[in-house]
Amino acid sequence: MKCTAHIQAGVCGFATDVTADAPDEQSVTLNIETNCDKIAGLAEALAGKEIDGYDEIAKGFDGVVMTAVRSGLSGCCAGCAVPVGIFKALQAAARVALPKDVAITIKEG
């Protein structure tokens, strides 16, 4: 299954488009396009890797994606929404989660 995610990171103004493709519904490849230099480095680290979607769920924060996030996004906002968007797209492509929008709404007061 192929899934896409468009992520507006927030006040920084950066946007990221993720395409997660898993023709066998398990082995996922990611294509990440962004105007954020930090996320572009993460995209490069994940490019060309075939990621086992089931293994990513089992390993959680120790999987391929989150390990690359920890090592590649130093100096990035700890609350960046992009890593979770990448992970959610991967889950949907591997059919371990349904493709459903995720939203965070923040209001003052």
Number of DSSP helices (H) and strands (E) in the chain, helices first = 4, 4
Q: Using alpha carbons, select from 67, 4, 61, 68 the residue that is nearest to residue 38.
A: 68
Half-sphere exposure of 98 (CA within 13 A, CB side): 2
Count of beta carbons in the 10 Å neighbourhood of residue 42 = 25
Q: What confidence score (pLDDT) does residue 105 get?
A: 85
Q: Can you give the pLDDT of all 109 residues of the chain as single tens digits?
A: 999 999 998 888 999 999 999 999 999 999 999 999 999 999 999 999 999 999 999 998 999 999 999 988 877 777 899 999 999 999 999 999 999 999 888 899 8
Q: What confidence score (pLDDT) does residue 73 get?
A: 85
Rounded to the nearest 5°, which phi and psi values hold at 50? Answer: -95, 115
Q: What confidence score (pLDDT) does residue 90 get?
A: 96
